[in-house]
Chains A and B, each alone.
Chain A
Amino acid sequence: SQTIHQWPATLVQPVGSPLSLECTVEGTSNPNLYWYRQAAGRGLQLLFYSVGIGQISSEVPQNLSASRPQDRQFILSSKKLLLSDSGFYLCAWSVQAGSYEQYFGPGTRLTVT
């Protein structure tokens, strides 16, 4: 069966510090991968998606970047965090080639102080 992992579960970081959140998927190959952010009082917003190793599409201009160094690994990064980067970050995956369903990880709650 497929599972998706995210870590850390919670993170408190000062403004200006770097960020690295990791997401890994087990039990499937060549998945589509997604990073979402849920800011306080707002709906989930797609940040990045990837259809393959090294292929990253960004949905909104921002202070964050994403990378996919391996087939089932998706990393969200920032060189210098802003207060506005606080939120709940969710990684998700879907099967390639026409699947509508996405499966979500447990999420990382990031607080920038």
Chain B
Amino acid sequence: KNEVEQSPQNLTAQEGEFITINCSYSVGISALHWLQQHPGGGIVSLFMLSSGKKKHGRLIATINIQEKHSSLHITASHPRDSAVYICAVSTFRHSGAGSYQLTFGKGTKLSVIP
């Protein structure tokens, strides 16, 4: 079983719809990240959060530490939001000198149709 599970794997929405992508994890984490991967492959970080809720424009990310669950919401979706959205969790690894490392979900492919 993967440590980070995302749902759905694929999502098609009409322009303007409200979108929710879910992420569940099974390990203790330092932080949770939402990333956006464009069709060309480049990845940008959308949010990093360890509690509560963050908002940036039409994007909202929430996390429930007790339930080990996070959601990414997109309001008033637009075709330019079409991308793969990836959930990742930071955990501290004690091997070697130690560092925070990311474990990734498989991503949710979002297609927004005009």
Binding partners A and B: yes
CA distance A41 to B10 in the complex (A): 12
Assign chain B's interface to a size class: 20 to 34
- Known A-B contacts A100-B30, A103-B45, A107-B42; the reply to A57 vs B100 at CB < 8 A is no
Q: Per DSSP, are chain B's interface residues mostly helix, strand or loop, or mixed?
A: strand
Which of A14-22, A43-51, A61-69, A70-78 lies at the interface with chain B? A43-51
B103 contact set on A, CB distance < 8 A: 46
Task: Tell me the chain B residues, 39-90 only, with Cβ under 8 Å from chain A.
Answer: 41-45, 48, 50, 86, 88, 90
Interface size on A, residues (CB 8 A): 28
Task: Tell me the chain B residues, 77-114 only, with Cβ under 8 Å from chain A.
Answer: 86, 88, 90, 95-107
A42 contact set on B, CB distance < 8 A: 106
CA distance A103 to B45 in the complex (A): 8
Q: Does B31 contact A (CB under 8 A)?
A: yes
Q: Which of A44, A55, A98, A103 contacts B97 (CB 8 A)?
A: A55
Q: Which residue of B lies closest to A33 (CB)?
A: B99
Q: Does A2 contact B (CB under 8 A)?
A: no
- B2, B44, B99: which has the most chain A beta carbons within 10 Å? B99
Sort A-B residue pairs by CB-CB distance and give the 10 closest, nearest first: A43-B106, A100-B31, A44-B104, A104-B43, A51-B97, A100-B90, A43-B104, A107-B41, A57-B96, A32-B99
Interface positions of B (Cβ within 8 A of A): 2, 4, 30-31, 33, 35, 41-45, 48, 50, 86, 88, 90, 95-107
Instruction: Pick 10 A–B contacts, CB within 8 A, sort by A.
Output: A32-B99, A34-B101, A34-B102, A38-B41, A52-B97, A57-B96, A90-B41, A98-B100, A100-B31, A100-B48
